[in-house]
Structure 1
């Protein structure tokens, strides 16, 4: 009996440790969301979040029947500044409050920011993917360094490994130091298998002009074998940057 309870106690400790690790990794996903919306000001992002959540969740002044609040949107709903003065903190109550009071919270149709909404939609997908990976013992860290660099780092906390499929706009050249062999470049639609921690580094190439370098919009897209959700990270167009600015490069570890 002592042995049996000892095994149960050990199992509980392991389960709690795994759950704690998953919660820590999932909390870090909010950084991925922040990086994914870094091109949008706080006010524009908040307005876009309100609109995106409303469009997905509400039918008139009520929450849609059978609406499923996924992990990413739950994070956003709980972060929105709504209902606080009325003491509304419960997630379900916040959902109901948002749908019922959207007209007084939202913006006029003419003020809808299409670009900010598209960034929030992509960021929510990234957030969901990051949370799902965290639940499967994979950590994702992303950084977007203007004018031309994107770096994504993956930490794997189990031996299962991960398969990555990658694509990017032609002006974005990407590599991973952990790829086996001499060629470290990443090529669109090709699958890459990693058994341990790895990173992706992308550099945007500039169009040359007499006044300086022009960096056109660039997008990095990738999906993995351990989440349903694809990831998208973007660099805005940066016009007429000086050659000195254009030479600073952020590389992966």
Structure 2
């Protein structure tokens, strides 16, 4: 199913060469591409325009990528791929804690970026092709929490929760097998698949953000995601209270 048409992407990098290179490759895929050379401009554009995806550089003068990502996440769940010249573990963790969905270290292959973009858009854009559905086929209802997979929507006590694509995938993956314990390694492999090659703390940072979002409406919904010490996580479908 083609999703490039009418798909708008924002590229943010202080290097014109990087912006020009990514624009060329993404426009070849028929995406509409806009760019920004600094964090301040990027934040303004990201909040004023509903982009389908943002490719965001971490290291920029002034407002860096982490700050931009954190500010965007206060208002929007736009999919974000972080670019950085730093490959250190701490930077990856900071990126995911800020709400990044994927992470690519410079130097990178433009083709790899295109593949990551396509994969993230496929998940994030799935609701565009489900809006004509009149019957819900995949509805997971629990105390306090409902996941409508056809609508790609999570509600807690009737209130819509704004999740990033990875946060949604992680919650759905756990909720589809209540009471089953999943090791971090398995979650990283099955939820992130080939799209991200990272350490196990990636899972922890996403669980943390997911719990925080659920807890803002109902702490008992957050408590359904249980930590199994030394192993990983599980979802308890019963009354978490």
TM-score range, shorter chain: under 0.3
Bigger fraction of residues in strand: 1
TM-score relative to the length of structure 1:
0.27
TM-score if structure 2 supplies the norm length?
Answer: 0.28
Higher normalized contact order (CA 8 Å, seq sep 6+, divided by chain length): 1
State which structure, 1 or 2, has the greater radius of gyration over its C-alpha atoms.
Answer: 1
